[in-house]
Structure formats: C-alpha cells, structure tokens
Amino acid sequence: MKRTAIYLRVSTDKQAQEGDSIPAQRDALRKYVKEHNYILVGEYLDDGISGTKEDRAEFQRMMEDVKRGLIELILVTKLDRIHRSLRNFLNMQDTLDKYNCDWLAIWEPMYDSSTPQGRMIINTMMNLAQFEAEQTGQRIRQVFQYKREKGEVLSGKVPCGLKIENKHLVADENFENAKKIFEHYREHGNLRKTVDYAISIGVMLGSSGIKKMLKNERYRPFVGADLFDDVQMLFSKNIKYNTYRTYIFTGLVVCAECGGKLGGHTRSHELQYYRCLRHFNKGNAISPCGNSGTIGERVIERYLLEHVKEMLTEYLFQKQQDKPKDNSKRIATLQKKMGKLKDLYLNDLINLEEYKKDKQNYEKEIASLQTPVQRDFSAHEAVLQMNLEEFYPALTQEQKRAFWRSIISKITFSKDRKIEVFFL
Ligand SMILES: [Zn+2]
C-alpha cells in the first residue's frame, strides 16, 4: 500500500499528438496505481516547459511533499517527464534517497530506481542524455560562431569542395572533405552524426546545409554514382520512416581480416546489416579487403543476448586472476633520472625553469604509477544481474547502442563468419 504520486508533463505539441497527452498519461498512471493497490496521494501537472528548466511549480510542490514524507513512490510515464538534465536529476535523486522515495517510469520499466540494475541503467542513460544535450549545444554554437567570423561564406552557390573554372565545375582543395562527408553518411546513415563529423573536419555546416549538400546532384560525377546513389537511397528511407536510422553496432564491429570498421547498411526497409567498407568500397580503398561477408544487426543482437552473460563471467574471472602490474622498477628509474636532473641544474647545464618543468613531469608519472587505476566493472556486473529478455527489447535503438557500448570495446567479424567479442 505505497503512498504514490503521479507526475504529468507534456512538453511539445508533437508529444501530445503521439498519444502522449496529459489525459493519456493520467489514465495510464491511475490505472497502474489501481492495479498495484497503491494509494494515490497526489497528482502533479506541469505544462509545456523545457525539461532543463528547474522552476516548474508543480514539480517543486511534489518535491516539497516528498520532504514532508507524504510520498513513497513517484510514477511517471517516461523518464524524460522528470528531467532532461543530469545535474538536476542527481539533485532530485539525493532528495529522494534522503526521504526514501522511489520512482518508476511505467512505460519504460527498466527505469526503476528501487533496483540496482534500474539505478545503473538510469545513470547510464542520464549520462548519455546529458552528453547529447551538450553536444547539440556545442555544435550549434560552433556553427554560429564560424558563420559570424566568416560572414556566411559557406552558403554561396557553388557547393563545398567544388569550384567553377572556365565555366566548368571542378573539384577544389576541399573536395576530399566533401567526399568524406558523403562516405560518413553512407556508413552511419545518421544526419546528426554526419554534421558532427563535418564540423570535426572543418566543414562548418548545420544539418540543413549538410542535407542540401548530400542531395545536391552536382556532386554525383565527383563522388561517383555508387556513393551518391547509396546516399540518396538511405535518405529516402530515412525520410520515409521519418527517422534517422541508428545502427546499434557501428564503431564497435570491426573486420577480422583487415581491421577496418564495418559500415551499417539497410536492406528492404528494416533489415540493417554490416559489411567491410574496404571490401565494398574497393574502388576507394588503398588495399581492398577480401571479406565479402555481411552480417545482420539482428544476428549480432541474438548472438550477444545468448552468449553475453557466459562471456562476461569468463572475462570477469580472467580479470580477477590478472596480477596488478609491478611498477617498482619504473619508479626507481624515474627517481634516478630526477637525481641526474638535479645534478644538471646544480652544474648550470639547465636553467631553473627547465629543471622545474622536467621535475614536475617525473613527479607526475611517479604519482600515477604509485596509485594504479582501479577498474570499474559495475556495468559488467549489472548486466549479469539483468533479465535481458525482459529488459533489452524495451530499449530504443539509441539505448541499445549505449547499452552495448557500456561493456563492449570491439566485436570482430571474419571471412568465415566468426564473431568475437571484446569487453571494456
Ligand atoms: Zn575487411
């Protein structure tokens, strides 16, 4: 008979249209309270303010009631109803802990603050959300700052990487970057990530700029028809499904033959698979790869779900057997070097500034050797505790991606279709 509060919030019209309106949330939450024989002690409703703002009146009122000991459990439909900002969330969590109040997102049952697995997942996801919010903000700032400085040079009529010479369009010195942007989009199929990538190589365009670029027919003869058409196909699919496809395993899956990354690809609408880019982009590769195999995303997922616990157990056991590295020799060498350094200074062979700087470097290294880093395997252990069959299917593509990334460093795929998994 838990004393339960329900918290309701809608932040955009889109959410309201998608069956996520206040009445829909209220019905679902009340039903949940009833089904579990909880006591409903309060309903709190905030309307339409950004999730990062902390001054939400009803939310504050609810937290006051928590502090008065009136509430043991807060129910929301989804996590983003509570907080988008990690810092604010952690502030709230401290208060909730202090007053023994749990919370649960009923449409996302893996977010359950009363279990250790739930806690681990919540922390992972909140970290991810915060990271994304920061990235987006930073990306927008970078683009604006650049445009201010350069006076909008990039939105001219001639596309980036091409120039007009004798009335003909030809590649210029930036063309390699333009091509890399096409390749990146083909590999990841994700516009947002491609914008990040473009900025990282100095092409300061926002998402509409990159989209225009990728759809601009004038690039076709320059980047090659294959690449151009692949990109168009990916585009039309993404638009059709109104989602920028997330590949769960890009960056993690690696070709066992050539060591290159496998690229994500989509076949017949939904089927996502991976293949060695150095094989399939033979024309561009310096040394083409012989791995012509493709592996489906579902296949990798199934393999991991079936084997991950067994593999993790083995991995953690191995890690336990590993002896801590003996650093004493290296430390002795460094101490000797410091002695010599002092001699150099005393004999006027180096000046005080040089002496101080080098001494500091040696001291830093010695300190780091004396306190070896403790590896944190809590994510691995949490996975061992989880009911994966229940937990995993409820995740979004992004969350699945984050989930595997929290424990796996690399998955290799060989010519004879062998998968090998390496953990962090
Ligand atoms: Zn390969």
Ligand 1 midpoint to CA 263 (Å): 10
**Residue-level pLDDT at 11:** 57
Sign of CA dihedral 197, 203, 205, 211: negative
- Which H/E stretch holds residue 162? strand 162-165
Reading the block at residue 18, the tokens are 């998608």
**Ligand 1 centre from 280 Cα, in Å?**
9
Determine the average pLDDT of the residues in 330-345: 90
Query: Domain 153-240 is of which CATH architecture?
Result: Alpha-Beta Complex (3.90)
Q: Which of 41-50, 172-181, 203-212 has the lowest mean pLDDT?
A: 41-50
Q: Where in the chain is the domain with CATH 3.90.1750.20?
A: 153-240
115-126 pLDDT, tens digit each: 777 777 777 766
Q: How much is the pLDDT for 156? A: 42
> What's the pTM value of the predicted model, to 2 decimals?
0.46
**Weakest-pLDDT range from 78-92, 210-224, 257-271, 348-362:** 78-92
Pick the CATH number of 3-129 from 3.40.50.360, 3.40.50.1390, 3.50.50.60, 3.30.460.80: 3.40.50.1390
**180 CA → ligand 1 middle, Å:** 19
- Span(s) in the chain for CATH 3.40.50.1390: 3-129
How far is ligand 1, taken at its centre, from the CA of residue 226, in Å? 19
Specify the pLDDT at position 152.
Answer: 42
CA of 256 to the centre of ligand 1 (A): 7
Residue of 326, 270, 263 whose CA lies nearest to 295: 263
pLDDT at site 310? 93
Residues 181-207, mean pLDDT to the nearest whole number: 84
Distance 418 CA to ligand 1 centre (A): 13
Any idea which of 44-53, 278-287, 307-316 has the lowest mean pLDDT? 44-53
Residue 140 pLDDT > 60: no
Is residue 47 within 8 Å of 10, Cβ to Cβ? Answer: yes
Beta strands per DSSP E along 248-347: 253-255, 262-267, 271-276, 294-296
**Residue owning tokens 């939904």:** 270
The mean pLDDT value for 75-100 works out to 73
CA of 283 to the centre of ligand 1 (A): 14
Question: With contact defined as beta carbons under 8 Å apart, do 183 and 280 qualify?
Answer: no
Q: How far apart are CA 223 and CA 228, in angstroms?
A: 7
Instruction: Please give the distance, rounded to the nearest whole angstrom, from the Cα atom of residue 396 to the centre of ligand 1.
Output: 29
How many Cα atoms occupy the beta-carbon half-sphere of 43 within 13 Å? 12
380-391 tens-digit pLDDT: 887 887 778 877
pLDDT computed for residue 157 by the predictor: 55
Confidence band for 66, pLDDT divided at 50, 70 and 90: very high
**Quick one: pLDDT band at residue 240, thresholds 50, 70, 90?**
very low
